[in-house]
Amino acid sequence: MLNYYRMVADRSALPILLYSIPAYTAYDLPTEVIGELSEHANIHGIKDSSGKPDRIAAIVNATSSAPRRNVTVTATFTAVTNRMLSAQANAAAMAAVLMPADAVMAGVGYTAPPPPPLFKTRTREVGFQVLSGSAQTLLPSLDAGAVGGVLAMASFAPQACAEIYMAWKDRDAKLAEEKQQRILAAADFVCGRLGIPGVKYACDLNGYYGGLPRLPLLPLTAAERDEVEQSLRNIRQ
């Protein structure tokens, strides 16, 4: 596994995010291997879906010496993507070619003032990024050192998941725990028990696009759909 990930990272034009989901692969990427891979310049983090905060803590500890790098973020430390930068550049280019009507009528030269930026950016130094893949243990994973989460539940209840992170970020432990407890039953049932068909139906139910699962997975039964609706009643987006 160490050799495989290194070969992929050596040849990938994009940064690599490791992924460990033992419930479906029957294999837990060893902490020691993750620690060694974190030293690779093109391996930037891991999504760990073990649901074990103690393992998250062990990964954080094993990757603490990973190389650090500077990244561009917004003023609130959210990611800045190439698409966002392209949109900003396109807006500046468009402003440069547009002329006020009075300047056009007068036939005079016109120099457009630079447009205000679409968003402000800053540089932040980050290390190896450990992300939780379990909505049920998001809060204890954050407490254990994870920097965020990549959650199936966020596909159909993004605000409910984000509120856990925001309360944790604000150091409001009581509110964060309340938000965590609020999603437990739905996360266990929809994501844990029903899996992909459940997530897809929950997306449709909450106004997103889910659609039908591909075979051999089957759509939910009427009884299962009723249970999903009941479980999401208190966290409907």
| pLDDT, tens digit (0-9, with 9 covering 90-100), for 172-204 | 999 999 999 999 999 999 999 999 999 999 999
| Residue 9, H or E segment | helix 2-11
pLDDT in tens, 107-125: 555 555 666 666 677 788 8
pLDDT of residue 74: 77
Q: Give the alpha-carbon dihedral of 53, 58, 61, 64, to 10 degrees.
A: -80
pLDDT of residue 122: 79
Sign, Cα dihedral of 28, 32, 36, 39: positive
* Strand, coil or helix: 139: helix
pTM of the model: 0.80
Task: Tell me how crowded residue 111 is: count the other CB atoms within 10 A of its CB.
Answer: 7
Phi, psi of 25 (to 5 degrees): -105, -15
pLDDT of residue 44: 95
pLDDT in tens, 32-66: 999 999 999 999 999 999 999 999 999 999 999 99
Phi, psi of 169 (to 5 degrees): -65, -35
pLDDT in tens, 149-174: 999 999 999 999 999 999 999 999 99
Total length of the chain: 237
Residue 203, CA distances (Å) to 6, 11, 82, 159, 190 in order:
36, 35, 27, 13, 11
Phi, psi of 74 (to 5 degrees): -80, 180
Q: Give the fold, CATH level 3, of 1-67+127-150.
A: Rossmann fold (3.40.50)
Domain ranges for the chain, please list them.
1-67+127-150, 69-123, 153-237
pLDDT in tens, 77-118: 677 777 777 776 676 666 555 555 565 555 555 555 666 666
